[in-house]
Amino acid sequence: MKVAVLGAGGTIAPAIVRDLAASEEVESLLLLDLDGSRAQQVASLHGGSKARAARTDARAPASDPGSLARALEGCDALVNSASYRVNLDAMAACLHAGCHYLDLGGLYWMTGLQLELDPQFRRQGLLALLGIGSAPGKTNLMAEAAVRELVAVDRRSDGAPPAPRIDSVHVSAAGRDLDPPPAFSVPYALRTLLDELTMRPVVLRDGRPEEIEPMSEGGVVEFGDPIGTGRTIHTIHSELRTFGDSFGCREASFRLCLAPALLVELRDLAGAAEAEVRHRAAEAAPPSARTVSVHLVEAAAGDRRATVRAVTEPIDAWGLGGGIVSTAAPAAAAVRLLAREAIEARGALPPERCVDPAEMFAELEQRGCRFEVTTPEEVRA
């Protein structure tokens, strides 16, 4: 498979590139970024003999020689790791070039707009896999796995959701840098992180989406080792856009647990001018290679409960932390599954409607991630 990666000079892309370069299903990699020199650096450091780099502008019209649509000619799939703001532009480029599309999420409202492109992708026999990072992505499939513990689910290859009887699905995410740099550092793009914290989160209550105040308290969550207990806040996230339709759940939420010192700094930046945000983003130090990530998904149906826990630790051989790998590995794994025809659905779909959780978990267990499924009767690793 010939794969392009958009936003190749960003925080998450190097891990995606490293993973895909080590995947036998991938024949070649085209690394694309507005900054061609950054893409070239990633190609040199992580792409091995498979990668080449080029500058492209996702928002340029298809007729422009430097457009994304032109760059994608001859590619089989695009992994979009750029800002969620260009998701629709990148999807349009894929439709023009006739290649599959994968991204790392669109917060909430962008995901809704992306879902509207389902008929176009279906007509062209293409897949647009919406949100296949850690959260959304891995969390969607953890929710699917938890729901399968509670009710019988038979996903059809066209991605049409069944109507399982689920009361609630709640997602919690936490990340920590075990060797943080002394300077200001963020786990992923600062602008996206600030959007998550300042936009009004959406939760499901009594089966209906409801907006709540930004950074509303989510309570204390026990994440287990190596993070332990942490306070959470509600943030806007893509999972809430699809869980209601996918699982028929009446209640759902997403809660985030950041390191306390980082949350204080982000609160201070929340009302800053855009110029200040750009300045802080430019000077931010990258996370260390000792980051860890923990995700919890708790589902309930009547008096039955199921919890799926995922822990992603650093991959020392790659020199990449678990926080970055946690987001990158699901996207790379989805490319491999697509190449093997293990993902048959076509259209614009969230992960829980087209990817088998067991197949994804097996891939991620080879990339520093371990899973635990807990029901009242048993615990399985």
**Helix/strand/coil (H, E, C) string of 180-198?**
CCCCCECCCCHHHHHHHHH
Distance CA 348, CA 241 (A): 13
Q: How many residues does the chain have?
A: 381
Give tens-digit pLDDT for 263-309: 999 998 888 888 998 899 889 888 899 999 999 999 999 889 999 99
Distance CA 90, CA 106 (A): 12
Least confident of 128-132, 137-141, 259-263: 259-263
One of 3.30.420.40, 3.20.20.10, 1.20.58.1610, 3.30.360.10 is the CATH number of 138-323+368-380, namely 3.30.360.10
* CB hemisphere CA count around 109 (13 angstroms): 7
Question: Contact, 345 vs 157, CB < 8 A?
Answer: yes
Distance CA 279, CA 19 (A): 31
Alpha-carbon torsion 189, 12, 78, 246, what sign? negative
Give tens-digit pLDDT for 202-216: 999 999 999 999 999
One of 3.40.50.970, 3.30.1330.30, 3.90.1300.10, 3.40.50.720 is the CATH number of 2-103, namely 3.40.50.720
Neighbours of 352 (CB within 10 A): 29
Residue 380's alpha-carbon distances to 170, 223, 370, 374, 375, in angstroms, are: 20, 17, 11, 6, 9
pTM: 0.93
Q: Which part of the chain is CATH 3.40.50.720?
A: 2-103
Neighbours of 66 (CB within 10 A): 13
What is the DSSP code (8-state) at residue 178?
A: S
Residue 271, both tokens: 């009302």
Q: Which part of the chain is CATH 3.30.360.10?
A: 138-323+368-380
